C-alpha cells in the first residue's frame, strides 16, 4: 500500500540549513507523481521535451520510480530523484534560497553511482536570478504551475480523487506565490487612478459617519461590551479594512466599515465581478478568548438566533477558528448598498442605515454582551 499524503509529508526531516517550504513542496510534488495515475510519465515527457539532445525516451511500459531526499555517496542530498529504467532526472528545488557552490556539477559527477544510464539535472526555482549554474533543464515554479500542472489537471476531470489532489496542489502553489498571476492590461493601468479615487471617496464617506447618532439608533451598543459605548473610533485602512470601531477594546469588538483586502480575513468577496468591495459589520475578539467564548452554550444559542434572523445580510460565523480574531461577519456588497443612491448625502445615509441595521441584528436583546467575555 502506498503511503498516504500525510505519511509522505511527515517523512521528511527538517533541517536548520534548509527552507522547510522547499522540502514540503518537494514531498507534495513527489507524492503526486507517485500516486496520480500516469502523472510520473507525463512529467518525464514534459522534461524530455526541454532536452532535445537526450539519449533516452520514456514510454508507459518503462519502470519509473520517484524518490525524495536521496543521499549520495559524497554525502550530498538530492531533493527529488526520478529514475526511468537505468536513466533519470536529478532535481534540485529552490524557493528563496540560492544554490551552494558547484551544487549542480556535484550532482552530475555523482550520476554514475546512481545508475548506468544518462541522468539529466533539473533546477526549479522561484526566479531566474537563482539560475547561477548550468543545468540540463531550468524551470520556474510558475512555469511548472502553468505549463504542466494546469495543463494536466484537465485530463483528470473524471477522476475526483486525482483531480482534487492536483487542484489542491495548484491552490497551495498559488497561495504561496509559486503560481501565476493575471497580466497587467492597459485597462487595468488606465483604471488605477479611478480605483484609487474610489477608495478615497468611500473612506471619506465612512469617516463622516463617525459623528452620526449611534446611541439612540443602536441602543444595545451600551450593553454589549465590558466597557460600555461612548462614540465610534475611525480607523484608517489597516488589515485591509477601513471603518468605525464601536468600542475601544475587543471584549467584544464591533467594526462597521469597508473590506478592501480579503487576504487577512479568510473569506472571499461576496460579488467579486459586479459588487465591488463588501460593506461589513464584524464581531472581533482577542485571540486568547476564542475558545473561551465559542465553547459555551450561550454562544451556540447566539449563532442559532443569527442563523434564523440575519435580515438581508450575508452571514458568516466561525464555529471553527478560520480566523481567531473574528467571530461573525455580516455583509453586503457596496454596489448593492449604494444602488440608486445619488450624491454624497444619499450615499452616506445608505451606509449609515446599513451599518445600523447590521449592528442592531448583532446586538439584539443584548445577547452578544452575555457571552463569556
Domain ranges of the chain: 5-175, 186-370
Q: Judge residue 71's burial from the number of C-beta atoms within 10 Å of its C-beta, 0-12 exposed, 13-18 middle, 19 or more buried.
A: exposed
Q: pLDDT value at position 326?
A: 82
Helices (H), the chain: 5-10, 20-35, 39-48, 103-109, 141-143, 150-152, 160-175, 186-190, 192-208, 290-294, 297-308, 334-337, 343-363
Q: pLDDT value at position 1?
A: 41
- Alpha-carbon distance of 115 to 86, in angstroms, equals 5
- Alpha-carbon distance of 48 to 248, in angstroms, equals 62
Q: pLDDT value at position 2?
A: 58
Task: Put the strands of the sheet holding 253-259 in their side by side order.
Answer: 233-238, 241-245, 253-259, 278-284, 326-333, 314-317
Q: pLDDT value at position 23?
A: 85
Question: What pTM did the predictor assign?
Answer: 0.53
pLDDT means over runs of 10, the chain (373 residues):
56 53 88 96 97 94 94 84 96 90 92 92 92 95 94 92 93 85 65 74 88 91 85 86 90 91 75 78 79 86 93 82 75 91 90 96 90 82
Amino acid at each position: 500500500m502506498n503511503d498516504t499524503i500525510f505519511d509522505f509529508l511527515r517523512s521528511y526531516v527538517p533541517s536548520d540549513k534548509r527552507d522547510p517550504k522547499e522540502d514540503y513542496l518537494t514531498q507534495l510534488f513527489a507524492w503526486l507523481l507517485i500516486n496520480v495515475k500516469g502523472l510520473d510519465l507525463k512529467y518525464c515527457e514534459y522534461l524530455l521535451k526541454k532536452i532535445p539532445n537526450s539519449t533516452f525516451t520514456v514510454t508507459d511500459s518503462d519502470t519509473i520510480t520517484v524518490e525524495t531526499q536521496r543521499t549520495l555517496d559524497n554525502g550530498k542530498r538530492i531533493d527529488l530523484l526520478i529514475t526511468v529504467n537505468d536513466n533519470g532526472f536529478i532535481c534540485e528545488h529552490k524557493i528563496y534560497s540560492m544554490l551552494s557552490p558547484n551544487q549542480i556539477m556535484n550532482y552530475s559527477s555523482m550520476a554514475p553511482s546512481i545508475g548506468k544510464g544518462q541522468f539529466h539535472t533539473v533546477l526549479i526555482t522561484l526566479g531566474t536570478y537563482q539560475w547561477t549554474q548550468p543545468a540540463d533543464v531550468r524551470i520556474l515554479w510558475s512555469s511548472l504551475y502553468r505549463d504542466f500542472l494546469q495543463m494536466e489537471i484537465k485530463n483528470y476531470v473524471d477522476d475526483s480523487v486525482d483531480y482534487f489532489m492536483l487542484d489542491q496542489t495548484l491552490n497551495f502553489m498559488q497561495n504561496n506565490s509559486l503560481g501565476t498571476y493575471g497580466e497587467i492590461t492597459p485597462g487595468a493601468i488606465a483604471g488605477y487612478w479611478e480605483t484609487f479615487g474610489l477608495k478615497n471617496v468611500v473612506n471619506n464617506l465612512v469617516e463622516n459617519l463617525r459623528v452620526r447618532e449611534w446611541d439612540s439608533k443602536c441602543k444595545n451598543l451600551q450593553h454589549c461590551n465590558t466597557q460600555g459605548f461612548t462614540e465610534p473610533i475611525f480607523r484608517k485602512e489597516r488589515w485591509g479594512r477601513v471603518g468605525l470601531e464601536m468600542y475601544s477594546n475587543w471584549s467584544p469588538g464591533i467594526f462597521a466599515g469597508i473590506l478592501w483586502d480579503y487576504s487577512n480575513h479568510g473569506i472571499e468577496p461576496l460579488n467579486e465581478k459586479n459588487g465591488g468591495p463588501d460593506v461589513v459589520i464584524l464581531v472581533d475578539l482577542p485571540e486568547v478568548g476564542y475558545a473561551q467564548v465559542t465553547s459555551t452554550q450561550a454562544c451556540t444559542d447566539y449563532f442559532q438566533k443569527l442563523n434564523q434572523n440575519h435580515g438581508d445580510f450575508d452571514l458568516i460565523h466561525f464555529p471553527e477558528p478560520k480566523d481567531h480574531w473574528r467571530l461573525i461577519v455580516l455583509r453586503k456588497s457596496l454596489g448593492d448598498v449604494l444602488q440608486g443612491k445619488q450624491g454624497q448625502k444619499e450615499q452616506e445615509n445608505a451606509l449609515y442605515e446599513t451599518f445600523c441595521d447590521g449592528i442592531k441584528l448583532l446586538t439584539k436583546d443584548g445577547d452578544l454582551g452575555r457571552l463569556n467575555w
